Structure 1
Amino acid sequence: MFDMHTGVDAAWDSTDMSGTFARREDAMPAEQAPSHARTRCATCMMRSICMAASLEASEVARLDNVVQSWRSVRQGERLYRAGDPFRSIYAVRVGSFKTVVAPARGKETISGFFMAGDSLGMDGICLETHNCDAIALEDSVVCVIPFHLLEALCREIKPLQRQLHKMLSAEIVRESRQMMLLGSTSAEQRVAAFLLSVSARYRERGYSATSFVLRMTREDIGSFLGVTLETVSRTLSKFQQEGLLTVQGKSIELLNLDALDAR
């Protein structure tokens, strides 16, 4: 969700993670990507927090054979839509996404934000169709992992199976925490908890935990937290006046993590 790289208006070679992406004018859809365009788990900087975590080199090589392609998704485009058949899990290699749920009646709701190292699409496992839209917050790249191939490999590589179980469990924990946050905290506490969550996720990925860019809009944050856009903006302004942070557009610098945690 909060990748520090800048997107480009063309597909790129996903093996180059230096921040300068090689343009590929002849880019093909993920299912048609040539073998030289395949991503490699062994060289991915997100490996330690993604699907390949805890795998031996030989096991990573086998996972590479399952992750056969990558896909670029431009800002505002959908990786998949609610109702689409579930076929693959997507590992975010570069960029960020939001998931949007549209109830039968009422306004669309943001159900989650995903950044490099996170996995998308697990919502489709239960009913074999996706129950939300996944929309790119910036130009992004995902690794496409066909689920039937991943399942087969999990039966042979137990550490991979455990990692998949951990990822599924993490989704349950995330949603439980979100329900508790929405049901028992004030608007200020929700915004503070959100900023601290973003901070922790940046730290996990080796980036600054106190200075980062929020790729989503204030309206998106409000939808996710169950408050209005105005409430989010007003709360950020209040925190800035209290010396807890500074805000400049989408750039945030957290000045007092302990004080935010104590809200």
Structure 2
Amino acid sequence: MTQLGNVTPLFQDLAKVEHEHNLACQECSLYRLCLPLGLHNNDLIQLDKIIKRSQSYSRGQPLFSTQTPFNSIYVVRSGSFKTTVSAVDGREQVTGFYFPGEFVGLDAIYEQAYRSNAKALESSSVCELPFDMLQELGANMPQLQVQMMSRLSKELSGDKSLMFLLGKKTAEEKLATFLLSISRRFQDRGFSAREFQLSMSRGDIANHLGLAVETVSRLFSRFQDEGLIDIHNKSISIRDVEKLKALCG
């Protein structure tokens, strides 16, 4: 009876630890990225131990810059971020937008230095993954290495798509492609593909697509007049997906 009395609290404690861990994972943007990997619970616990969940970043607050020493990569937990690179003359180019579950800073791995500046587009938070500790874990978790390779490949694919978008498509094709891309990314994260908020400014969109702000504003108005979308401040409702796809070229 004494032994059974000691064992029961032990199982209760283990159950409590597992319950609290599962809650932590489910509340984290990494949840949907980690669990499909087939990692064992012990692996997930080890991964969870190195993750630093940050305080909130306010709109415009830097996550990192090209002057920040490279120590970590990040996953957006809530909100959104943009990355920019600066030319010698001070001009900025918006290179990407990042939403919950997406990695920021992967391009820093090769040279061990951040190649862009990242800022919050709204009140946001991230999961910070110290890179040295992530490498140590990856040595014992092949599936974690596979996931990182997949993310790096996705980033490279996105860069090539952007080059094609900027170089070959018309203004209306660029904006239509951009809207459908954002729609698909929200859908992948379990949000509505038809109704969503554009946290970035019209100026950021224009800069990212290589267009004038006036051109982007005119196209948004035209798309709305033609019944493709509805716009209310930063809220977008896609009304005709097929016509929008037809505009992508």
Which residue of 2 is the match for residue 124 of structure 1? 108
- d(CA) in 1 for partners of 2:123, 2:60: 8
- d(CA) in 1 for partners of 2:22, 2:65: 24
Which residue of 2 is the match for residue 168 of structure 1? 152
Which residue of 1 is the match for residue 60 of structure 2? 76
State the Cα distance separating 1:53 from its structure 2 match: 4.2
Question: Where does 1:147-226 land on structure 2 (aligned, <5 Å)?
Answer: 147-226=131-210
- d(CA) in 2 for partners of 1:151, 1:86: 14
- d(CA) in 2 for partners of 1:90, 1:68: 9
- d(CA) in 1 for partners of 2:60, 2:154: 26
CA contact 2:29–2:75 (8 Å) conserved in 1: no
CA contact 1:93–1:143 (8 Å) conserved in 2: yes
Q: Which amino acid aligns with 1:197?
A: S
Task: Report SS of the residue matched to 2:56.
Answer: strand
- Which structure 1 residue ranges, 4+ long, deviate > 4 Å from structure 2? 38-41
Alignment counterpart, residue 56 of structure 1, candidates 40, 43, 50: 40
State the Cα distance separating 1:84 from its structure 2 match: 1.7
1:134 maps onto 2:126 in alignment: no
- d(CA) in 2 for partners of 1:46, 1:255: 29
Which residue of 2 is the match for residue 44 of structure 1? 27
Question: How many pairs does the alignment contain?
Answer: 226
CA contact 2:85–2:117 (8 Å) conserved in 1: yes
Q: Which amino acid aligns with 2:213?
A: L
Distance 1:45 1:64, change over 3 A: closer
Task: Report SS of the residue matched to 2:200.
Answer: coil
TM-score by length of 1: 0.82
CA contact 1:193–1:261 (8 Å) conserved in 2: yes
Distance 1:53 1:78, change over 3 A: farther
Distance 1:196 1:241, change over 3 A: same
CA contact 2:76–2:100 (8 Å) conserved in 1: yes
Q: Which amino acid aligns with 2:122?
A: E
- d(CA) in 2 for partners of 1:116, 1:95: 7
Distance 1:122 1:76, change over 3 A: same
Q: Structure 1: any 5+ residue segments left out of the alignment?
A: 1-37
Alignment counterpart, residue 226 of structure 2, candidates 239, 242, 246: 242
Structure of higher CA gyration radius: 2
Deviations 1:31-74 (A, max 9, x none): xxxxxxx9975223533543554133222111001114424211
TM-score by length of 2: 0.86
Alignment counterpart, residue 94 of structure 1, candidates 69, 78, 81: 78
Task: Report SS of the residue matched to 1:215.
Answer: coil
Which residue of 1 is the match for residue 98 of structure 2? 114
More helix by share: 2
Q: Structure 2: any 5+ residue segments left out of the alignment?
A: 1-20
State the Cα distance separating 1:105 from its structure 2 match: 2.6
